[in-house]
Structure 1
Amino acid sequence: MRISHIQGRLEQQQSLSILIARSLENFTKIPTNDLTFRVINARLTSLKDNWDKFSIVHDAIMISINQLSATDQKLIRSHAYFTDNIYSVTYEHYLECLDRMNLHLDAEEQLKEGSSLTQSLSQSTTNQ
């Protein structure tokens, strides 16, 4: 793979990193009443898909870098993607967002279970 191709991939990675980092910010902007099981699951799926893409491309970049000359490797490793440790930063954003979304999902499931239990209890007392 040519160095220019790797540089292009690094730019794409930075854009995807920003998208992943903003996932939590955008998620928290959703009004609480609109945080349904379906909405949370859609956000989780999107987040996971973006992370999978990011991770796969990162692995491809690392393999490609190993095939470059020492001079080109040094040049590529001076890119902000590496100097700013974008992979690790993005991974932390991903985990934080995943945790927060799962907390909301758990709360939504508990609310749904509580509602079902209340309905069951209500029905059983009216049937007596």
Structure 2
Amino acid sequence: MEIKTCEQYVLDQLEQARAERDWLRGKLEQAQDEAEELRGKLMERGERDASKVEQAIRKEGRHKLYRDGSGYRTSVDDGGKLIPFSDWCIEHAGYSSLRCGMTKSEFIAYFEPEFREEYDELVNEWKAGQE
């Protein structure tokens, strides 16, 4: 099509810009997919390549951080009623200052598996005592 007017020129430029944008968007999505795949491979490799000593250090370090930041087996009993998990976590976390750059709520979220395991154990003991 031959461009004869200013409007036709502007429309032509707009269409070219849209086509280039769509092409770039496709390239970006492709690059993001490749990056995600490489991140996954890197994580797999990192876990696989970690020596048994490094794995033991990570495990013990996590356990120590949890122990240092949580209280001593606080009760799940609140006058004959069971304290909800989230309330128990807040009470049980003796974590009052920023440790490793985490707030108390971030600490609880990060160590939720450990909190959950301890809470479930205490709930089972509490239920056994109720029978």
TM-score band, normalised by shorter chain: 0.3 to 0.5
Higher relative helix content:
1
Larger Rg: 2
TM-score normalized by the length of structure 1: 0.34
Select the structure with the greater relative contact order (CA < 8 A; seq sep ≥ 6). 1
TM-score normalized by the length of structure 2: 0.34
